[in-house]
Amino acid sequence: MYVFECLDCGGIAVGWTELVRRYVGYNAPIFRKTKLAIDRAILESELVDRPEDPFVLLNPGQRSQATRPDLAAAPVLG
């Protein structure tokens, strides 16, 4: 179920505005470096808590490719 459907089911009115939100991500090097460091800490914690969870195992590989594509997720995946 999508967010709008959930809101509608809950009796919350949903409408459109002329506002546009532009998301540019973490393109600036300093922000990207900080974001990747935070993500890594969270993922390492998740690996300890749920080492067999497929979602938890997927994300270190994605983050490793963003920072060191030559290493990918080799240490995590064996």
User: Whole-prediction pTM value?
Assistant: 0.47
pLDDT tens, residue by residue, 11-27: 788 778 898 888 777 77
pLDDT at res. 16: 81
Query: Is residue 16 domain-resident?
Result: no
19 within domain boundaries = no
Which range of residues forms the domain containing residue 49?
27-78
Tell whether the model's pLDDT for residue 71 goes beyond 70.
no
Per DSSP, helices labelled H in 1-78 are 3-9, 29-49, 54-67, 74-77
Packing angle of the helix pair 54-67, 29-49 (nearest 10 deg): 150
In a domain, 15, yes or no: no
Whether 1 maps to a domain, the answer reads no
More confident residue, 62 or 18: 18
Number of separate domains in the chain: 1
Q: Which long-range contacts (C-beta less than 8 Å, at least 24 apart) are formed by 58-61?
A: none
**78 inside domain:** yes
Kindly state whether residue 14 falls inside one of the protein's structural domains.
no
- Percent of the chain topping pLDDT 70: 72
pLDDT for 49 equals 92
- Residue 70 lies inside a defined structural domain of this protein: yes
